[in-house]
């Protein structure tokens, strides 16, 4: 299946959007929210969790394993990497994007907020990896409405980050806006 570049690259390009991990003003997608960034980090990265949770890395590996084994996986990674390189090529656009992101975060009370910056520093690589797997799924299979990866993307588009999963597969979300 050949998918349009704009469709499969949308999640990766969102990582450059000022709203990426900027938080949200309200509840998102009827998800369970937590307000403690330490708990969010614990659920996202640790193995020793409260009994009602599944280890995030195990959950994410389960929903992406078919993609990793797909014959088009390497091709998808090369295409995504190439498109990201092309999109970053214009230095003026990149500077404007960074300034816009800074101004949005300043308006939200997050610019120059050490607590927020520390949290983003901790989670941004993991969040970008999640977005890359969403782009990979789109490259290989197109947009699969209702898939777990598309649900994660819906959470990201609200400025929040999925950070945990309960045993019943309900996603737990952290809203970085609580850090202001």
Residue ranges per domain, the chain?
Answer: 5-179
Give residue-wise pLDDT tens across range 94-145: 666 667 766 766 666 666 668 888 898 899 999 999 999 999 999 999 999 9
Q: What burial letters (b/e) apply to 99-134, b meaning 16+ CB within 10 Å? A: eebeebbeebebeebeebeebbeebeebbbebbbbb
Give residue-wise pLDDT tens across range 10-21: 999 999 888 899
pLDDT at 167: 92
Q: Which residues contact 114 (CB under 8 A, 6 or more apart)?
A: none
DSSP sequence for the chain: -PPPHHHHHHHHHHTTSTTTT---SS--TT-EEE--HHHHHHHHH-S---TTEE-HHHHHHHHHHHHHHSTTHHHHHHHHHHHHHHHT--HHHHHHHHHHHHHHHHHTT-TT-HHHHHHHHHHHHHHHHHHHHHHHHHHHH---TT-HHHHHHHHHHTT-EEEEEETT-PEEEE-GGGG-
pLDDT at 78: 95
pLDDT at 123: 95
pLDDT at 33: 87
Sign of CA dihedral 49, 54, 58, 63: negative
pLDDT at 14: 93
pTM for the whole structure: 0.86
Give residue-wise pLDDT tens across range 27-40: 666 678 888 999 99
Q: In what order do the strands lie in the sheet with 53-54?
A: 32-34, 171-174, 161-166, 53-54
pLDDT at 95: 67
pLDDT at 89: 62
Give residue-wise pLDDT tens across range 39-92: 999 999 999 999 999 999 999 999 999 999 999 999 999 999 999 888 776 655
pLDDT at 109: 63
Does 6 score more than 70 pLDDT? yes
pLDDT at 57: 94
């Amino acid at each position: 299946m050949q998918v349009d570049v704009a469709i499969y690259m949308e999640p990766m390009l969102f990582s450059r959007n000022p709203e990426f991990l900027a938080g949200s003003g309200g509840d998102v997608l009827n998800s369970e929210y937590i307000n403690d960034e330490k708990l969010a980090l614990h659920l996202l990265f640790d193995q020793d969790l409260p009994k009602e949770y599944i280890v995030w890395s195990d959950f994410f590996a389960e929903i992406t394993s078919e993609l990793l084994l797909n014959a088009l996986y390497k091709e998808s990674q090369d295409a995504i990497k190439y498109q990201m390189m092309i999109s970053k090529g214009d230095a003026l656009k990149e500077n404007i994007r960074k300034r816009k992101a800074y101004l949005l975060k300043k308006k939200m009370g997050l610019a120059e907020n050490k607590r927020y910056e520390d949290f983003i520093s901790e989670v941004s690589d993991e969040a970008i990896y999640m977005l890359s797997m969403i782009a990979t799924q789109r490259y290989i299979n197109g947009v699969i409405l209702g898939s777990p990866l598309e649900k994660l993307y819906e959470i990201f588009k609200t400025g929040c980050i999925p950070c945990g999963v309960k045993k019943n597969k309900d996603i737990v979300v952290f809203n970085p806006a609580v850090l202001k």
